[in-house]
Structure 1
Amino acid sequence: MKKIKNLCLIAALGAIVTGGSLLQGAPAYAATTYTATTTAELTSDLGKATKGDTILISGTIKSGTINVPAGITLKGKTGKNTDKLVFSSTSGNSGKGLSIKTNGSTIQNLDISGAADNGIYIEGSGNNLTDLDVHNNKDAGVQLSNGAANNILTRVYSYSNADATGENADGFAIKLHSGVGNELYYCTAEGNSDDGYDLYAAHGAVKFDHCKAINNGNCGGIKGDGNGFKLGGVDNKTPGQAAHLDPLKHVLTNCTATGNTGAGFDRNNQNGVVTMTGCTAINNALGNYKWPLTGKPSALGYQVTFAKAIIDNCTSSGGGKNDLSGATVTNSPTVK
C-alpha cells in the first residue's frame, strides 16, 4: 500500500508579528493520500482516513457496502474507465454500494456497479459527486433521501439500473424527504427500469442544468413508469402527518427528455411553480410535457387545482399528446 503525505500548514489565527517577534498559530497537520488496489487495502484505508485525506482506487476492487467517512476524497487514480468499485458482495435491501451519511466528501472519477440496492445512497450534506458512471444496480443508481441537502452532482451518468419489478430503479431518486439545495449539472439518466429522475416526497427544490433523460422505463425487458423528469409533489411518507401537497419550485435549464416510455417532463401532482427554460422533449410516449391544471392524487383522494408551471423557450417534437393546461408557455412555438 502506497502512502503519500502532504504537509498542510494550518494557522487558525495566522502568523502575527508583534514587536519584532513571530507568533505561530495552530501546528501543522499531515493530510494523507492512500492508494488501494485490493479489497483489503481499501478496507484498511477507510478505517484510517479522516477529514482531508484522499483514497485513490486503482484498478477494479470488489467490495461490500462502503460507509464514506466525513470530509474525505474517494476517487479513481486514472479515471472511471479503469478504476472501478464492484459491489458484488452486497445483498438485500441494505445492500447499498457507497453509503454517504456524512458531510463534505468528494467522490470522483469512478465506475460504480453491482449493488443489491442503490449504487450511491446519500443522507449527508455538502458532498460533491463528479465524473461517475453508476450502472447495473438493483435500485436507483443514485438516491438522495432523509435530509440530504446541498449536494452537487456533476457529469454523473446513471444507466441500466433495474429492480425485480421495474418500479423502483430510477437513474436519480431525489426523494423521500431529501433536503434543500441539491443541484445536478450535465447528468444523464439512461435506460433505467423506472424513471430518469424521480422527486417523489422531496422536501427541497432541486436545480437541474443541462441534464438528460434518455430511454427510461425499460431495462432489458424490465419495465417501470418510464418518465424522464418526474417532479412529484405529494408527501404521504411523513410519520404522524396526513398525506399533503408539498409545493416546491424546481428549476430545469437546458434539460432534455428523449424516448422515455412515460412522459418527458411530468408534473406528477407537483403544486409548486416549476420553471423549465430552454428544455427539449423528443418522442416521449405519453407526452413530452404532462402538466395538467387539475388532478386527483390517489394519496389525497380529492381534486386539486395546481399552480401553473413556466415553460419558456422550450421545444417539443414527436411523442404522445402534451397536456399544457397547467402551464404558462412562452417563446416556445413547438410546445403545443
Structure 2
Amino acid sequence: MKKQISALAALVILFASCLKVTEQAPTDSATGDPTRSANTQTTVNAVNTTVTTESALKTAIANAKAGDIITISGTIRLTSTLQLLNSGTSGSKINFTGGTLDCSGISSGWGVKCNGSYWNITNMTIRNAPDCGLVLQHGGYNYIYNVTTTGNDDSGIQIYNSSHHNYVLSCKSNENYDAANGGENADGFACKLSGGASNKFESCTANHNSDDGWDLYGQPYSVTITKCTATNHGYGSNGDGNGFKLGSAGQNVPHTVTNCVANNNKAWGYDGNGNTGHITITGSTASGNGKGSFTRIY
C-alpha cells in the first residue's frame, strides 16, 4: 500500500511541474479594464530586461515575446528607427516602458515604428525624430499610455496604414514641427491616410504643434476622441492650425468627439474639413480660435 501511495504522489508532483504557471495582472487604474492596458496573465518564461544602450534595446525588442517586459533606464540615443515587429497575445502583451528615446541620431525616418500587435507602450518620452515620433503602422490592439512626443519633424503619434483597435491614453504631444514643409504636416496626434477601425484617444493633450492638434485627414474608419485638449496650433508658414481636424473632403465618415477642449488655435477649434459624415460632438468647448469654434460639422 505504501508503494502505491508513493507512486501516486510522484505522479502528482510530475504533473504539477509541467503546468504553465500564471498570475493575474492588476487592473489598469485609469480604465478599470485589464484587457486594454495590463497583461491578464504572465508566464514564468517571460523575460524582464532593463536596457541602457541602443544595441541592448534593439536586441531585446527583436527577441520580444508575449509577457516580456523591456524597460529603458535613462536616455537612449537612436541611430536608426526602432521597429516593433513581434506580437504579444490578447492575454499576454509585450510591455515596453520607461525612459527617453532621443531620435536625433536617426538620419531619416520615424523614431519608433510598431507593426506588431498587443504591445503596451508606456511611460516614456520620444523626441527629436526626423519624421514622426511614434507610428502604429500595421497590426492592432496596442495600448499607448503616458507617452510624451516632442520636437519631432512630423506628427508626434500617428496611427496609419490599417493599424486598428489602438487605445491612446493620457499622452502628450507638443512642439512637433516639420521645418522642411513650413509646418504643414506635424500634428500632435494623427489617425489619417488609411488607419484601421476602432482607434481611440482619451485624456490626451496636444499643445503648440505646427499643423493641427488632431488630424483625421483621409481616415476611412470612425475614430473616438474623449476628454482631449488641443491648444495653440498652427505655427509655421504652412500650418493649418485646427484644434481637431475631423476628416477631409469627399469623405463620409462619422467620428465622435466627447468632452474635449480646443483653445487658442490659429484656425478652427473643430473642423469637419469637408467630411460629410455625421460627426458627433458633445460636451466639448472652444475659445480663442482664430477662425471660430466649429465649422463644417454635419
TM-score, normalisation: structure 2? 0.81
Q: How far does residue 233 in structure 1 lie from its aligned partner after superposition? A: 3.5
Q: Distance in 1 between matches of 2:251 and 2:118?
A: 28
8 A Cα contact 1:233 1:248, kept in partner:
no
* Aligned-partner Cα distance in 1 for 2:237–2:136: 25
- d(CA) in 2 for partners of 1:152, 1:97: 19
Say if 2:160 and 2:194, in contact at 8 Å, map to a contact too: yes
Q: How many residues align?
A: 254
1:104 lines up with 2:118 in the alignment:
yes
Q: Does 1:277 align with 2:293?
A: no
Distance in 2 (CA, whole Å) between partners of 1:257 and 1:201 is 21
* Higher helix content, 1 or 2: 2
Matched-pair identity in %: 38
Secondary structure class of the residue paired with 1:43: helix
Corresponding residue SS for 1:288: strand
- SS of match in other structure, 1:30: coil
Structure 2 residue 251 is the aligned partner of structure 1 residue 251: no
Q: 1:43: how far off? A: 2.2
**Secondary structure in 2 aligned to 1:46?**
helix
2:175 is aligned to: 160
Residue range with higher mean Cα deviation, 35-44 or 200-209: 35-44
Aligned residue for 2:56, secondary structure, equals helix
Instruction: Tell me the distance in 1 between the aligned counterparts of 2:194 and 2:62.
Output: 30
Partner of 1:13 in structure 2? none
Q: Does 1:41 align with 2:56?
A: yes
| Aligned match of 2:158 | 143
Work out the CA distance in 2 between the residues paired with 1:223 and 1:259: 17
How far residue 267 of structure 1 moved from its aligned partner, in angstroms, is: 1.0
Provide, for residues 172-226 of structure 1, a one-character-per-residue CA deviation record: whole Å limited to 9, x for no partner. 11100111100111011110000111101101101111001100101xx555000
Q: Unaligned stretches of 5+ in structure 1?
A: 1-19, 77-82, 235-244, 293-307, 309-336
Q: Tell me the CA shift for residue 21 of structure 1.
A: 7.3
- In structure 1, give the amino acid aligned to 2:233: N
Deviations 1:99-119 (A, max 9, x none): 001111010000110111110
1:108/1:131 contact within 8 Å kept: yes
Q: Residue type matched to 1:263 in 2? A: W
- Equivalent in the alignment of 1:191: 208
Alpha-carbon displacement from aligned partner over 1:16-70 (angstroms, at most 9, x marks no partner): xxxx979667655500010001222212222322222110011011112111132
Do residues 60 (structure 1) and 75 (structure 2) align?
yes
Query: Does the aligned pair in 1 maintain the 2:143–2:166 contact within 8 Å?
Result: yes
Task: Kindly indicate whether the alpha-carbon contact (under 8 Å) linking 2:75 and 2:102 is maintained by their aligned counterparts in 1.
Answer: yes
Distance in 1, Cα, partners of 2:201 & 2:51 = 29
**Aligned residues of 1:140 and 1:170 also touching (Cα < 8 A):** yes
Go from structure 1 to structure 2 and tell me whether the alpha carbon gap of 1:56 and 1:222 turns closer, same or farther (over 3 Å shift): farther
CA distance in 1 between counterparts of 2:245 and 2:58 reads: 37
Matching residue's letter, 2:96: L
**Residue 222 (structure 2) aligns with:** 205
User: Aligned Cα RMSD in Å?
Assistant: 1.8
Q: Which aligned runs of 4 or more in structure 1 are off by greater than 3 angstroms?
A: 20-29
Q: 2:190 aligns with which of 167, 170, 173?
A: 173
> Matches of 2:128 and 2:178 in 1, distance apart?
12
**Partners of 1:162 and 1:222 within 8 A in 2:** no
Give 1:266 shift. Answer: 0.3
In 2, are the aligned partners of 1:34 and 1:45 still within 8 Å (CA)?
yes
Residue aligning to 2:7: none
Mapped to 1, the partners of 2:141 and 2:107 lie a distance apart of: 28
Report the equivalent of 1:73. 95
Amino acid in the other structure paired with 1:250:
H
- Give 3-state SS (helix, strand or coil) of 2:47's partner: strand
5+ residue gaps in structure 2?
1-10, 22-43, 89-93
Alignment check: 8 A CA contact 2:275 2:296 kept: no
The structure carrying a bigger strand percent of its residues is: 1
Per-residue displacement from partner, 1:146-170 (whole Å, max 9, x unpaired)?
A: 1011100001101000002210001
1:122 aligned residue: 136
Contact 2:247 2:275 in 1 (8 A): yes
Q: Does 1:265 align with 2:270?
A: yes
What is the one-letter code of the residue matched to 1:42?
Answer: L
Deviation at 1:125, TM superposition (A): 0.7
- Which amino acid is the alignment partner of residue 87 of structure 1? C
With over 3 angstroms needed to count, the CA separation of the structure-2 counterparts of 1:229 and 1:27, relative to structure 1, is same
1:115-146 per-residue CA deviation (whole Å, 9 max, x = no partner) reads 11110011221000000110100011111111
Return the match for 1:91 from 107, 128, 153: 107
Partner of 2:241: 226
CA distance in 2 between partners of 1:223 and 1:156 (Å): 25
